[in-house]
Amino acid sequence: MNNHTQVPARKATTAAADKLLLITGFLGLFAALTTGIGEYFLLYAPELKHGAANDYANFLHPTESQLKLGYYLGAIGTPFYLIGYWHIVCMLKQQRRWTGVAIMVFAIFGFMSGIVWLLSNAYQGILVQAIAATSGEIAVKLLEVQTKVDNLSAPLLSVIRYQMLILSAILAFIIIRGGTYYPRWMALFTPIVLILLVFSTLLFAPSFGKYLVPEALNVAHFIFFALSILFAFKAVNPK
C-alpha cells in the first residue's frame, strides 16, 4: 500500500520541479527583456558615443518620459535576473552545493551593483538636461553634482563586467565538463561571449548594432535564457 501511495507523490513532486524549472527560465527571460528595454530608454542616443568625454552628450537625448520609463522598467526587471540564475543553477544539475552557492553569490553581487549603476543613469540624465537648460553658477553647481554621481556609479560598471567574466568562466567550465541539461557547445554561448558578439555588430552592422549595444548585457542574457528554456523543455519532456 505504501508503494502505491508514494508513486503519485513522487510524480507530483517531479511535475512541480519541472514546472518550476520552466517558470524560472521564463522569469529570467522577462528580466532580460524588461531591463533591456529600460536600459535602451536610458542610454540610447542616435549618435551613440563611448568614453567619459562623450557621456554628457549621450544623456541629452532621452526625454523626461523615457528616463522615467527606463528607470522603472530597470527597477522592476533587474531583480528577476536572480530567479533566472537560479534556473541556470538547476539546469547545471550540480551535486556539490557550493557550486550553486558560488554562482548565486556572484549573480546577487553583480546584479545588485548593476541595478544601482543602471538607475543612476536616470539621475544623470535629469541633471545633464537641467544643466543644458540653465547657465551661469547654477549650471556649474549642477555639473559638479552630475560629475560626483558619475564618479560614484562608474566603478560599479567595472564590477558588472568582472562579474560577467567570472560567472561565464564558471558556467563554461561546468558545461564543458558535462552532466548538465546543456549540450557542451552551449559553453560557446555564455553571457560574456554573447556580449562580445553584440559589440561586434558595431563593426559589421553599425546601423543595427547601435540599437543593441546600449543594452548588450540584456541582449546576451535574452539569447542565453531563450536557449536555456529550449533545453529545459527537452529535459522535462524527454523522448
For the ranges 6-10, 164-168, 190-194, 206-210, the lowest mean pLDDT is seen at 6-10
**Does the structure show a pLDDT above 60 at 3?**
no
- What predicted TM-score, i.e. pTM, was given to this entire model? 0.87
pLDDT for position 136: 81
The cell numbers describing 157, all together, are 560598471
**Does the structure show a pLDDT above 70 at 55?**
no
User: Pick the residue with more confidence: 138 or 89?
Assistant: 89
User: Pick the residue with more confidence: 194 or 57?
Assistant: 194
For the ranges 8-12, 73-77, 123-127, the lowest mean pLDDT is seen at 8-12
- The answer to whether residues 164 and 195 touch, using CB atoms and an 8 Å cutoff, is yes
pLDDT for position 49: 57
pLDDT for position 30: 98
Taking only the tens place, the pLDDT of each residue in 172-184 is 999 999 899 999 9
Query: Which amino acid, one-letter code, is at 138?
Result: I
Give the position of cell 529550449: 230
Among residues 119, 197, 127, 113, the alpha carbon closest in space to that of 158 is found at 113
Percentage above 90 pLDDT, the chain? 53
- pLDDT confidence of 58, banded at 50, 70, 90? confident
Q: What is the dihedral of CA 156, 160, 162, 166, to 10 degrees?
A: 150
User: Pick the residue with more confidence: 165 or 135?
Assistant: 165
**Does the structure show a pLDDT above 50 at 7?**
no
Compute the half-sphere exposure of residue 106: CA atoms within 13 Å on the CB side of its CA: 19
The residue ranges of every structural domain in the chain are: 2-236
**Does the structure show a pLDDT above 80 at 72?**
yes
